[in-house]
Structure 1
Amino acid sequence: MPTAHATRFPGCTDGLRLGLGGAPLGNLFRAVPDAEAQAVLATALADGCRSFDTAPHYGNGLSEQRFGQTLRGLPRTRFVLSSKAGRVLRPDARAARAQNGYVDVLPFTQHWDYSAAGTRRSVEDSLQRLGMARLDVAYVHDCDAATHGDAYPLVLAQVLGETLPTLRALQREGLVGAVGLGVNDVQVCLDVLAGADLDCLLLAGRYSLIDHSALPALLPQCVARGVRIALGGVFNSGILATGVGGGTEPRFDYGRAPQAWVDRTAAVERVCAAHGVPLRAAALQFPLAHPAVDIVVAGAQDVAQWQDSVAMLAQPIPAAFWQALRTQGLLPDTAPTP
């Protein structure tokens, strides 16, 4: 069975540890013209990006269509492509054009389905939208308690009993490379790892400059078991991109940021100002120091956002900055720093 080490998130042969996340190009919060979406993808490729992540959830398949339009004309060994299972799309002429935070979506409705048949259909439908014969990584999407509430124990049992075994079968058939979870919750990762092996995780928001909840238990286990991690949400849905003092309402986990996160970010910003470090640079570079983490995945709605992430990833940051964060209790002693 392939391991995550065999299908690492390579970023690029020249070492760029930045992947492109597909939610913004599925029209998350605002419509992105198709020409702009293709420009983002083309610019990312030109900058050395080789890891691309999408999902049926992102615009009801719109993101997958856009990714496929650019990527399927390239040599298949030039990029690593991931998508997700857990939601099945059904055509519906009366479907709302705005769903789940996405606007101008394709005419489908989403239905949770972690069954064996639903998992196979999800992967095969994704491949059709992408125009591809295989996924390098298939993630089980949003199978956590916060998403499913009281149904979580049943969802967990189905993920362990049907979803993951089906993805392993698809792996043996050559339709899927690595198998993992795509979630923004630590506990579901621990729960699944207690009952199954995973190759990798796409973990959003839970190991960032301000949120270290994955550090005590999950990341050490991933190192020990060889589970490689791609980190999404390193800006925690906006607060670490915009900061808290610029007049824009800070967002955390897709909503208005609670005051505790505002206060913590403000404290980090003061250290950034004292050392001349852009907040976005610190947010992108910090999690890459952990040995479990291969890449960070950044979403971009336009070329400028992508180029800013590339520049911030290369921004020099003095060691004194990280030490100041640690001294002020803003980083745990056990968190590695660049």
Structure 2
Amino acid sequence: MTELNKRRLGRTGLMVTELGLGGFQFTGEFGVPRAVAFDIMDLAFRSGINFVDSAPMYGFGESEELVGRGTEKAGGQIYISTKVGWLDRTIVRNLGDEAYRDEAAIRRVVEHSMRLLGRSYLDIVMVHEPEWKQWGLDPDTGDGVILTTLERLKKEGVIGAIGMGGGHLDVMTRLAETGRFDVLLTFMHYDLAVQDAKERLLPAAKKHDMGVILGGPFRQGALAVKQEARIAEMRRTGEYPWGFNEEVVRKIDHIYKLADETGIPLAEMGVRYLLSDPQVSTVIPGPRKVEELESNLEAARKGPLPEDVLEQIRKI
């Protein structure tokens, strides 16, 4: 079995497998049996994956609990990133929006994550959706209770790295430029159909040696398997869900044709395309089935796409 390559996660210095595991979707919230979640993690860790991403809001804490049990069983060095945010789905929801600017509440959430994950130290803690006004974050300086609290926890040796995870490119880019974050996780802004993160966010990350984690590589499934009927329905009704518009679905049409012409399965093309960018530290699909993870592993082991295919994607 070919080993998964590892890449440096920016200035954290952590060497993470270029294929990681997203913990968003393998909870009861998505109808995934717990036994299947453990099977997914068992395969991931046996296959060499050493990076898992979770958050308190994923399954209202179930994702962290599952990851904690799964990594404990696996043994070995597995790095975990988790987050602080979506506090209405956490143990401090009774405080309402005030929790977002309350250091004690933020610490309480982090400590609860540590208990669920079974860790006395967290490798990475991210601000979840840093653009939310509840945080009161100044995007040009990073000043705010949440970042001050995470910096204190880092100094205290409770966490190793500070990150941000979200989908608002402008705010994330401005925060990256402050130099106060070690890692970023972005989704829906870098995949086969959309690459706007490459214009500003990734250059800012490179300037400050931030690790780059890419989530949601399959654009809600439309880049995992062909969804021509779904796309036709969007066009018929004129109703496009978040992350889609006519320009995006036009590009998806061309990507589907390219997959047919090259014989490269769609999901494989998506993973290998992102791994063709050396600035990307790790890609973290969120499998709901063991078979989905098997497909992702097979794709990652094949490495970056050939240059001629990359050129055709650039033209699209």
- How high is the TM-score relative to the length of structure 1? 0.79
Classify 1:268/1:71 alpha carbon distance in 2 versus 1 (closer, same or farther; 3 Å): same
The answer on whether the counterparts of 2:40 and 2:293 sit within 8 Å (CA) in structure 1 is yes
Tell me, in whole angstroms, the C-alpha distance in 2 between the residues paired with 1:254 and 1:109: 31
Classify 1:160/1:4 alpha carbon distance in 2 versus 1 (closer, same or farther; 3 Å): farther
The answer on whether the counterparts of 1:9 and 1:295 sit within 8 Å (CA) in structure 2 is no
Residue 140 of structure 1: CA displacement?
0.3
Classify 1:133/1:224 alpha carbon distance in 2 versus 1 (closer, same or farther; 3 Å): same
Which range moved further: 193-202 or 135-144? 193-202
Residue 222 of structure 1: CA displacement?
1.2
Mapped pair 1:154 → 2:155: no
- Aligned residue for 1:243, secondary structure, equals coil
User: Paired residue for 1:103?
Assistant: none
User: Paired residue for 1:19?
Assistant: 20
- Aligned residue for 2:144, secondary structure, equals helix
Tell me, in whole angstroms, the C-alpha distance in 2 between the residues paired with 1:32 and 1:5: 35
- Aligned residue for 1:309, secondary structure, equals helix
Residue 125 of structure 1: CA displacement?
1.0
Classify 1:272/1:53 alpha carbon distance in 2 versus 1 (closer, same or farther; 3 Å): same
User: Paired residue for 1:333?
Assistant: none
Tell me, in whole angstroms, the C-alpha distance in 2 between the residues paired with 1:320 and 1:110: 54
User: Paired residue for 1:95?
Assistant: none
Residue 110 of structure 1: CA displacement?
9.6
For structure 1, which runs of at least 5 residues remain unmatched after alignment?
12-16, 93-107, 331-338
Which range moved further: 261-270 or 65-74? 65-74
Give the counterpart letter for 1:122 in structure 2: V
Mapped pair 1:78 → 2:66: no
Residue 264 of structure 1: CA displacement?
0.9
Task: Give the root-mean-square deviation of aligned CA atoms.
Answer: 2.8
Q: Which has the higher helix share?
A: 2
Tell me, in whole angstroms, the C-alpha distance in 2 between the residues paired with 1:253 and 1:164: 35
Residue 129 of structure 1: CA displacement?
1.4
Residue 109 of structure 1: CA displacement?
7.8
Mapped pair 1:59 → 2:42: no
User: Paired residue for 1:290?
Assistant: 277
The answer on whether the counterparts of 2:81 and 2:125 sit within 8 Å (CA) in structure 1 is yes
Give the counterpart letter for 2:308 in structure 1: A
Tell me, in whole angstroms, the C-alpha distance in 1 between the residues paired with 2:225 and 2:231: 9
Mapped pair 1:132 → 2:129: no
Tell me, in whole angstroms, the C-alpha distance in 2 between the residues paired with 1:239 and 1:10: 27
Give the counterpart letter for 1:318 in structure 2: P
User: Paired residue for 2:106?
Assistant: 119
Q: Identity rate of aligned residues, in percent?
A: 26
The answer on whether the counterparts of 2:177 and 2:204 sit within 8 Å (CA) in structure 1 is no
Give the counterpart letter for 1:71 in structure 2: T
Tell me, in whole angstroms, the C-alpha distance in 2 between the residues paired with 1:153 and 1:36: 35
Mapped pair 1:325 → 2:313: yes
Give the counterpart letter for 1:64 in structure 2: E
Tell me, in whole angstroms, the C-alpha distance in 2 between the residues paired with 1:210 and 1:9: 28
Residue 315 of structure 1: CA displacement?
4.1
After superposition, where does 1:1-338 map in structure 2 within 5 Å? 4-8=10-14, 10-11=16-17, 17-28=18-29, 30-75=30-75, 78-88=77-87, 89=89, 113-115=99-101, 116-144=103-131, 148=132, 151=133, 154-156=136-138, 160-245=143-228, 247-248=229-230, 255=242, 257-315=244-302, 317-326=305-314, 329-330=315-316
Tell me, in whole angstroms, the C-alpha distance in 2 between the residues paired with 1:39 and 1:159: 40
- How high is the TM-score relative to the length of structure 2? 0.84
The answer on whether the counterparts of 1:244 and 1:262 sit within 8 Å (CA) in structure 2 is no
Q: Which has the higher contact order (CA 8 A, sep 6+)?
A: 2
Give the counterpart letter for 2:111 in structure 1: E
Tell me, in whole angstroms, the C-alpha distance in 2 between the residues paired with 1:164 and 1:277: 43
Classify 1:74/1:159 alpha carbon distance in 2 versus 1 (closer, same or farther; 3 Å): farther
- Aligned residue for 2:11, secondary structure, equals coil
Tell me, in whole angstroms, the C-alpha distance in 1 between the residues paired with 2:306 and 2:262: 8
- Aligned residue for 1:237, secondary structure, equals coil
- Aligned residue for 2:80, secondary structure, equals strand
Tell me, in whole angstroms, the C-alpha distance in 1 between the residues paired with 2:240 and 2:212: 19
Tell me, in whole angstroms, the C-alpha distance in 1 between the residues paired with 2:231 and 2:210: 36
The answer on whether the counterparts of 2:57 and 2:90 sit within 8 Å (CA) in structure 1 is no
- Aligned residue for 2:285, secondary structure, equals strand
Residue 233 of structure 1: CA displacement?
1.0
User: Paired residue for 2:3?
Assistant: none
Q: Which runs of 4+ in 1 moved over 6 A?
A: 250-254
Tell me, in whole angstroms, the C-alpha distance in 2 between the residues paired with 1:56 and 1:248: 31
Which range moved further: 189-198 or 175-184? 189-198
The answer on whether the counterparts of 2:23 and 2:63 sit within 8 Å (CA) in structure 1 is yes
- Aligned residue for 1:296, secondary structure, equals strand
Give the counterpart letter for 1:18 in structure 2: L
Classify 1:281/1:181 alpha carbon distance in 2 versus 1 (closer, same or farther; 3 Å): same
Residue 254 of structure 1: CA displacement?
7.0
Tell me, in whole angstroms, the C-alpha distance in 2 between the residues paired with 1:61 and 1:211: 31
The answer on whether the counterparts of 1:244 and 1:266 sit within 8 Å (CA) in structure 2 is no
